[in-house]
A and B are shown apart, each in its own frame.
Chain A
Amino acid sequence: MGKKIHIVDTTLRDGSHAVAHSFTPGQVSAIASGLDSCGLEYIEFSHGDGIAGSTYNFGFSKYDEMDLLREAANAIKNAKLTVLLIPGIGTVEDLDLAKECGAKVVRVATHVTEADISMQHIKAAKDLGMIACGFLMMVHMAPVETIVEQAKLMESYGADYINIADSAGYMLPGDVKSAVDALVSNLTVPVGFHAHDNLSFAVANSLAAVESGATYIDATLRGLGAGAGNAQLEVIAGVLQREGYDTGLDFYPLMDLAEQVLEPIMVRPQIINTASLMLGYAGVYSSFLLHVYKAGEKFGLEPRDILVELGRRRMVGGQEDMIIDVAYKLSQDRGLA
């Protein structure tokens, strides 16, 4: 048997961005139960910006998040139901609620340089008896030494594994290898990787991560996710199986699930269009994409111009509100507003 790779499905979390947080109870139930029967070990569900992310700033969820979480919990037999929590958006109170609704794992996500704001939530998760993952976002913005130092902080708070996210889909396999290599040799807990496909490297980067010693990989059905989406789960299953890794996934049923259940509910094809390409090129948080389209329309601007300016200002995850600020300024400069 090959080396064990743990797959974390995040179709119902990162994929939530791609459907503007409109998942229905029926969709959540069908996707969660399908994934569970395909052998997924972790199934993540929450608003794309984590629990309590349903807001003006990030977009309101169409259905109550905790009701949907219960729906997912009921649909799952073996997988561990996982939620994302971004400190500054969600709180320990929200985590308590998520646990009551059936969450077993929480991934506490901060910007790559701000790990110390996760201490409160990682410790709370451990006190609640949950599995806690320290999740560093936008790792392309920091040198490897910083990534290691911040990961070690999360490890010291009690994180059971550390996941790094290429939230802007900016990294190339060499970047992933350097980061994962350094983490694997400096941490005692396992390392995971979360890809975005903005430069068409999501699966290649995930494979590079695994080859460098990562043992947790995030993926989504059809790659459904923010920007150009994530590593495509059914592709990851096939590639890792062919390379001799043990993912515990059923390849054929997974392809069927993607095609029969997920594809019909996609609202747009998960491709690398101009704006997604610009996210990866300029290093901008992938979840900004749909908000940038809206602002472009409102202010009569090209989405890519807004994205480049956001990248220049070094905006981080959570600063969706600055899209309006940037669009307003650009339109003023051009005499549009």
Chain B
Amino acid sequence: MEKIKVAILGPGNIGSDLMYKVFRSEHLEMGLMAGIAESEGIKRARSFGVPASVEGIDGVLELDDVDIVFDATNAFSHYTHAPLLESAGKIAIDLTPAAVGPYLVPCVNIGELSNAPNVNMVTCGGQATIPIVYAISRVAGAKYSEIVACISSLSAGPGTRANIDEFTQTTAKAIEIVGGADKGKAIIVLNPADPPITMSNTIYVQIKNRSAGIEAIAKSIDEMVADVQKYVPGYRLAVPPMLDGDKVTVCIQVEGAGDFLPAYSGNLDIINSAAIGAAEIIAKGLLAQRAK
């Protein structure tokens, strides 16, 4: 089957895990792993026969046959990369907090964004919880929604730690924009337990329409969980929805696929899997266009 070539900017843990996921993809293949030094990640890519460059964004721009670029660097770098990628006609999937493009949670809004030149993957907590917020808001409305994401300390990188406000603020905003809540709030907790805990998330929604009924809410959530499981098999309902007055509470656990990163870091897996899931849909669109 014909495949679309992708490049990954940033050969760290996230970039390496993305590469493993590209290997498994039916529609994507590695065109380039790009970094800025002869790092472990660059060597790892080469050892798999993947072309690698230490010229960063310049290495990517040289390749005309790369259509989709995952940016797993940092927000500051993405501000530079975004306009360059756009003028080179490459689609950017941004995993940094830069959010130059609109927020994308594939199972909610890929339909609207499959032609966007640049999309942002929100946060790991956002990818885990916003599908549920949306599943509730689409049947019962959402006046307010709050999520608590608990991740293992080992899976929180130095970037997240140095700017944890970015996580809470970005996630809260995306709960509103993508999840459909009038007001959003996000809380993140790091747990150092050993062996590491699996990512767990609690979603609270204050619904607008109590007459929607718990059955309709539960059905909407079940459908959404099945949709997310298409790209994150380890996504599961830990506590089914409970209705208490106008408050709905749901708990979700996310176990990673264990590609490059350990399975407990479901938080890293879900944002990568969502990015790959989005790239596959975009790739199918590109292939269909080219077949015409």
Contacts of A87 in B (CB 8 A): 164-165
Docked Cα-Cα span, A121 to B162, in Å, equals 10
A91 engages B165 (CB within 8 Å): yes
B162 engages A119 (CB within 8 Å): yes
- Mask: chain A, 300-337; 1 = CB below 8 Å from B; 0 = not: 00000000000001111111111011001000000000
Docked Cα-Cα span, A150 to B149, in Å, equals 23
Question: What distance in Å separates the Cβ of B52 from its nearest Cβ neighbour in chain A?
Answer: 31
B138 at the interface (CB under 8 A from A): no
- Mask: chain B, 153-169; 1 = CB below 8 Å from A; 0 = not: 10000100111110111
Contacts of A116 in B (CB 8 A): 158, 161-162
Could you show 11 A-B contacts with beta carbons less than 8 Å apart? A56-B249, A57-B146, A88-B190, A111-B190, A117-B161, A316-B189, A316-B190, A317-B189, A319-B189, A321-B251, A325-B202
Docked Cα-Cα span, A316 to B191, in Å, equals 6
Contacts of B187 in A (CB 8 A): 55, 57, 88-89, 318
Given the contacts A117-B161, A314-B191, A57 and B169 also touching, CB distance less than 8 Å: no
Given the contacts A57-B187, A88-B190, A314-B191, A117 and B146 also touching, CB distance less than 8 Å: no
- Mask: chain A, 84-120; 1 = CB below 8 Å from B; 0 = not: 0001110111000000000000000001011011011
Given the contacts A111-B192, A116-B161, A319-B191, A324 and B185 also touching, CB distance less than 8 Å: no
Sample of 10 more A-B contacts, CB < 8 Å, known A316-B192, A320-B148, A328-B238: A57-B187, A88-B167, A91-B165, A113-B153, A114-B190, A318-B150, A319-B150, A319-B191, A324-B239, A328-B251
Given the contacts A120-B163, A120-B164, A321-B251, A88 and B191 also touching, CB distance less than 8 Å: no
A325 engages B164 (CB within 8 Å): no
For residues 130 through 187 of chain B, which have their beta carbon under 8 Å from a beta carbon of chain A?
Answer: 146, 148, 150, 153, 158, 161-165, 167-169, 185, 187
Question: What distance in Å separates the Cβ of B204 from its nearest Cβ neighbour in chain A?
Answer: 4
Docked Cα-Cα span, A89 to B161, in Å, equals 13
B188 at the interface (CB under 8 A from A): yes
Docked Cα-Cα span, A313 to B251, in Å, equals 16
Residue of A nearest to B187 (CB): A89
- Which residue numbers of A lie inside 8 Å of B, CB to CB? 55-57, 87-89, 91-93, 111, 113-114, 116-117, 119-121, 313-322, 324-325, 328
B247 at the interface (CB under 8 A from A): yes
Given the contacts A119-B162, A316-B189, A91 and B169 also touching, CB distance less than 8 Å: yes
What class of interface size applies to chain B in its complex with A?
20 to 34
Given the contacts A55-B185, A324-B251, A92 and B165 also touching, CB distance less than 8 Å: yes
Q: Is the interface of B mostly helix, strand, loop or mixed?
A: strand
B251 engages A117 (CB within 8 Å): no
B200 at the interface (CB under 8 A from A): yes
A324 engages B150 (CB within 8 Å): no
B148 engages A321 (CB within 8 Å): yes
Given the contacts A56-B247, A57-B187, A322 and B150 also touching, CB distance less than 8 Å: yes
Contacts of A91 in B (CB 8 A): 165, 168-169
Docked Cα-Cα span, A55 to B193, in Å, equals 25
Contacts of B239 in A (CB 8 A): 324-325, 328
Question: What distance in Å separates the Cβ of A220 from its nearest Cβ neighbour in chain B?
Answer: 25
B204 engages A56 (CB within 8 Å): yes
Contacts of B204 in A (CB 8 A): 56-57
Docked Cα-Cα span, A117 to B165, in Å, equals 9
Contacts of A322 in B (CB 8 A): 150, 200, 202
Contacts of B190 in A (CB 8 A): 88, 111, 114, 117, 316
Given the contacts A324-B202, A325-B239, A328-B239, A88 and B189 also touching, CB distance less than 8 Å: yes
Contacts of B167 in A (CB 8 A): 88
A321 engages B202 (CB within 8 Å): yes
B164 engages A318 (CB within 8 Å): no
Question: What distance in Å separates the Cβ of A2 from its nearest Cβ neighbour in chain B?
Answer: 39
Docked Cα-Cα span, A139 to B117, in Å, equals 48
B165 engages A120 (CB within 8 Å): yes
Most buried by B among A89, A113, A117, A120: A117
Contacts of B202 in A (CB 8 A): 57, 321-322, 324-325
